[in-house]
Each structure stands twice: as C-alpha cells, then as structure tokens.
C-alpha cells in the first residue's frame, strides 16, 4: 500500500493550506474502498466548471485549480484509471483549459468527443443543425447586445447565453432566448437552463448522461464514477446510478447523488486520495478495513 495521504490536505495556496472536508469526501472514500476491490479499475468522469475549476462571473476567466491540474495529470497515468472530462463547454475550449493530453474529452454535452487521440467525433444530427444554431446565435447577439452583463457564447455546435453578472435579468433574458429559438430554430433546437445560463442545442439524443453511459459500456469491469455540479450533470448522475456507479455532487443541495462535496478544493482532496491510495484498492489489492 502506498503512503497514506490525509484527504484534508490541499495545496492550492502556496502555504500547504489545510481545510476540513465535509463528510462527503470521507463518505466517498469509504464507498470506493468498499467497491473498487470488486472491479478491474475506475472510470472517473469529471465536469469542468464548478468541479475542476471554481465558478466565476466571467466564463472566459475560468481556470482549473493548480492542484486539480496536477492531479488530472497524475490520474491520466495511474494504473487502473480511465479518465474523462465531460463538459458543456466546446471541446477545444475545455481541452485547452485542462491542458492534459491523452485524456478523453467530451464537449458540448457529448456532441463532440475526443478519445485522447486528437480525432474529434461530432454527432451527425448536431452537425446537420450547425447553420440553424449559427442563425439563432447571430439573432441573439443582435437582440441582447444592449443587455449589460449578458454574454452570448459561440460554441459552434451550441450556444450559451450567460447572465451571471445580470441576475435581475434572468427571467427576461430566458424568455427572449426561448422566443428567438421558437421563431428561428426551425424546430431543430431546444433550450435548457443551468446556473445563470441558457443553453441552445440541437434537439438530438445526447447529453452528459448518454455520454457517461457510453463510456461505462466501453469500460467493462470498471467502476463508473462522475463528479459534477450543475443541472446539466443530473443526467450523468442518473446514468452512473443506473450503471451501479458512484456519483458525487459539488454543491450544497441534496440531489440524490452518492455523496456531496463543497467545492473544487474538496474535489482535489478526493482526487488526491484516488491518486495516492485509491489505485491500490482496484481488483482486490486493498484491504477495505484499513483507515485512509
């Protein structure tokens, strides 16, 4: 067994900052200690915003924490770990922000996927709707141009309208977006609300849950696990639960996940335990009654 690491530690401040994790960190560790010995490995799927990176007012300013960046890099090479980053961001965007090669990335809620080889697969029905998405995006840019604190993000296959910096305009902006999609979307698009955002997407059968289900089916014998924080992650939690896996919600709500942690720092505590100790539990290597 590797040297035991205290999951209370985090290294994001330069002074070996320590914090006391909520019960969700130790609860998840206990579940993994029990479940991993019955599996060949761990399929670890991670959201980006709010999970690997703190939520910020300006989505362009979002950055993975240094500790999480280091841990993703370590976990990529860890034995018995299959790693995937699953995001609503465009694939190139999230891949650039994580900046770790040879990892599976799913962007735009699974519309585009890179299995670590640099070749991007795009959902064919979403690709067929590209011109409609572009038309709606252009219309929204014109209509929302004078809305202070509102931004329209071009993700090619999808569009996101952000209003975190204009919370008082949430209902009005959402209504405007839905009206534009209804008028100009040719019945090919759908909308979905998240935390201070509205997503405009092709009406195709894909979401984070479908992506994670596909990954789990391909990783036969691996324990599937998903960590995420937003409304768009709920389908992934449901898929993980259906596959008998472990779901971890980052936030302060009870949404039925296996466990709940508070922040990307607590995600780091969990990832560090997986990297330092969790890998030794895979396939019966760990003793589940040890204290970690």
Q: Tell me, yes or no, if 154 is annotated catalytic.
A: no
Question: Is the pLDDT at 284 greater than 80, yes or no?
Answer: no
- Mean pLDDT over each residue of the chain, to the nearest integer: 90
Q: For residue 23, what pLDDT is reported?
A: 82
- The H helix count followed by the E strand count for the chain is 9, 12
Structural domains in the chain, sorted by start:
23-123+206-284 (3.40.50.1000), 126-202 (3.30.70.1020)
Write out pLDDT tens, residues 83-126: 999 999 999 999 999 999 999 999 999 999 999 999 999 999 99
Listed in sequence order, the residues at least 6 apart from 214 whose beta carbon sits closer than 8 Å to its beta carbon are none
- 47, 114, 230, 265: which is the annotated catalytic residue? 47
Q: Which pTM was predicted?
A: 0.87
**215, 37 in Cβ contact below 8 A?**
no
Write out pLDDT tens, residues 31-65: 999 999 999 999 999 999 999 999 998 999 999 99
Question: Is the pLDDT at 286 greater than 80, yes or no?
Answer: no
Q: % helix / strand / coil in the chain, to the nearest 5?
A: 40, 20, 40
Q: Closest by alpha carbon to 5, among 26, 31, 24?
A: 26
Mean pLDDT of 162-190: 97
Q: For residue 21, what pLDDT is reported?
A: 41
Which range (5-9, 97-101, 217-221, 276-280) has the least confidence? Answer: 5-9
Q: For residue 285, what pLDDT is reported?
A: 66
């Amino acid at each position: 067994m590797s040297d035991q690491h205290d999951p209370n530690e985090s290294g994001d401040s330069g002074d070996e900052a320590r914090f006391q994790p909520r019960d969700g960190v130790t609860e998840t560790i206990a579940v993994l200690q029990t479940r991993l010995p019955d599996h060949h490995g761990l399929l670890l799927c991670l959201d980006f915003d709010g999970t690997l990176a703190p939520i910020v007012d300006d989505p362009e300013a979002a950055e993975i924490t240094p500790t999480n960046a280091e841990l993703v890099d370590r976990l990529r090479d860890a034995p018995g770990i299959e790693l995937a980053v699953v995001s609503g961001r465009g694939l190139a965007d999230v891949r650039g922000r994580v900046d770790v090669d040879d990892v599976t990335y799913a962007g735009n809620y699974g519309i585009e996927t890179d299995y670590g080889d640099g070749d991007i697969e795009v959902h064919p029905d979403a690709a067929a709707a590209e011109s409609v998405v572009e038309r709606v995006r252009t219309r929204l840019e014109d209509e929302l141009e004078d809305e202070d604190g509102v931004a329209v993000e071009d993700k090619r296959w999808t569009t996101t309208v952000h209003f975190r910096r204009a919370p008082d305009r949430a209902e009005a902006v959402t209504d405007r977006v839905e009206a534009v999609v209804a008028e100009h979307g040719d019945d090919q698009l759908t909308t979905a609300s998240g935390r201070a955002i509205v997503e405009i997407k092709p009406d195709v059968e894909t979401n984070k849950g479908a992506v994670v289900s596909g990954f789990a089916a391909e990783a036969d014998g691996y324990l599937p696990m998903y960590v995420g924080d937003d409304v768009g992650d709920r389908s992934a939690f449901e898929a993980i639960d259906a596959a008998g896996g472990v779901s971890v919600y980052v936030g302060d709500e009870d949404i039925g996940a296996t466990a709940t942690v508070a922040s990307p720092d607590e995600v780091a505590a969990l990832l560090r335990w997986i990297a330092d100790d969790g890998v030794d539990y895979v396939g019966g290597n760990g003793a589940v009654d040890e204290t970690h």
